[in-house]
Structure 1
Amino acid sequence: MRMICLAALAASLATPAFGQEVQLDTDQTAAGNVTVSGVTALVSSYRFRGIDLSDDKVAAQGWVNVTHKSGLYVGTWASRVDGFGELGGSNLELDLYAGYKTALADGVTLDGGLIYYAYPGSTGGNFEFFEPYAKLGLEAGPAALTLGVAYAPAQDAIGDNDNLYISADATLPIEGTPFALDAHVGRSEGKTTLTPGEGYTDWSLGASASGKALTARVAYVDTDISDFDAIAAGATTEIVDAAIVVSLTAAF
């Protein structure tokens, strides 16, 4: 799910910002002007903006994206949720998104769109919300940097206040090897159910190995959310503690 009601919360983005904010390069199959790509994954813990939404349990995830050669795209991303991330009995987060990506210059891209966070089967409250996003991609040789911003306007599901999330993601493939390094830092601000303590920072450092359609990744994930703010949000302190997250993804 991506952050959800923190009073009942839980929540990566792909480029829209899905659950764990994981960016994946996938093999793609093109038919005319349309390209379809996708990924299935198992993760040891589903972390959304640093917060554990799968109760420290393995989560199955999937992603399908359809892109037109014009730069327009639509897609969906899904993950099992549990514990603090389980909203009103729902054990599924389903993210629906649409956007447009274009090249501004050599090695510079702009990507913007709208994502809708849904929790099919949830009861006892309004947990679904939408969030526009924009990302600027910069490439320098093999290295890539993505600067992102996501803004959720005031909605019932997030406490009738707006929320802002800004982020920076960097990737560095190790030339001549199947390995790559990645880093992420993000800042969430807003008096909403998405942001314990009304503001916090999350970060991660990761390494991955890819072969054919498979990618294995291990990452250290942490936040600066205090135990007090976690408890005040109705959660246990474990969901914001530092963790090692392992994932295995398969592209199709």
Structure 2
Amino acid sequence: MFMSVRGAFAATLLASSAIAATPAFADEADAPSEVTVTGNVALTSDYRFRGVSLSGGDLAVQGGITVSHKSGFYASIWSSSLHSSEVDVDGDGVGDGSVYGDQELDLIGGWTGEVTSGLTLDAGLLYYVYPSGKIGDANYWEPYASISGQVGPAKLKLGLAYDWKQKGLLDNNGSKSDNLYVYGNVDVAIPNTPVTVSGHLGYTDGVLSPCYYCTGTRTFNDKTGIDYSIGASMTLFGPLSASISYVGVSGVSVDSYTDDTVVGTLTASF
């Protein structure tokens, strides 16, 4: 997937020689590819999903690949390491495994493009998979859509995701349940610097709300919640970038789960 500097240099020389020798093919060689492949790998201090830690407050390794067509259609795969608590199913005081296991795998398909001047739509279907989960079936589907546009120096984005009732989303009574998530993002690039300042605000209504599973607290069974973050990101050099954010959620604060925290991430893109 990666090419060495020497290999890239040799390939460039070879391509340049071929174009120079056959100028009739120059336009064809310069034509943009119909399909592009991009990806990234990242190390983050805490994997926060809509404000809630899925890595137990620990480091997480993440990465993904996206294949995009010039028509706007794309397919992606993304993964992150997890740290989820074991569940005592038989009541013997010994953990029998965890619902999510130690890995999340997201399979994504969608379309993005400008639907009117200055407004971009991104819509698709996401499938959350937890291949090492041992308790029940935690996998679930999530259709999503967002609209984004530029307003002065700010890029604004509004989006929603809705998970219909399915076996991967069980309420505290063991019944299939659903979940609605709506959010807004704002990103402002600081002129003449590599820094972008970002803000996020999200609202959840359903079994994925921040403190629905906070057992032993007064907010147990609370199916609504808010998550928020504010931070900054910057390009360091080449494909390497870094970000830092303050992340929080409404409701009770559970250490390494729903407590406010600062998250730092180092990302290499290709």
| Residue among 200, 223, 227 paired with 2:225 | 200
| Residue among 84, 88, 113 paired with 1:102 | 113
Structure 1: 5+ residue stretches without partners: 1-29, 228-235
Structure 2: 5+ residue stretches without partners: 1-30, 87-96, 171-175, 213-221
Aligned equivalents of 2:255, 2:242: Cα separation in 1? 28
TM-score by length of 1: 0.80
Q: Deviations over 1:111-137 (max 9, x none)?
A: 100000001122121100000000001
Q: 1:120 to 1:218 in 2, by over 3 A?
A: same
Partner of 2:165: 154
Q: Percent identity of the aligned residues?
A: 37
Aligned equivalents of 1:109, 1:51: Cα separation in 2? 28
Structure 1 residue matching 2:186: 3-state secondary structure? strand
Cα deviation, residue 226, structure 1: 1.9
8 A contact 1:107–1:140 mirrored in 2: no
Runs of 4+ in 1 over 4 A off after TM superposition: none
Structure 1 residue matching 2:168: 3-state secondary structure? helix
Bigger relative contact order, structure 1 or 2, given CA contacts below 8 A and separation 6+?
Answer: 1
1:226 aligns with 2:252: yes
Partner of 2:218: none
TM-score by length of 2: 0.75
Aligned equivalents of 1:189, 1:126: Cα separation in 2? 21
Whose radius of gyration is greater, 1 or 2?
2
Cα deviation, residue 84, structure 1: 4.1
Cα deviation, residue 140, structure 1: 2.4
8 A contact 2:84–2:101 mirrored in 1: no
Partner of 2:260: 242
Structure 2 residue matching 1:241: 3-state secondary structure? coil
Write the letter of the residue equivalent to 1:241.
D
CA RMSD in angstroms, aligned pairs only:
1.8
Q: How many residues align?
A: 214
Structure 1 residue matching 2:177: 3-state secondary structure? coil
Q: Deviations over 1:145-197 (max 9, x none)?
A: 1100000000111121211000001101111101110000000002x255521
Aligned equivalents of 1:133, 1:89: Cα separation in 2? 22
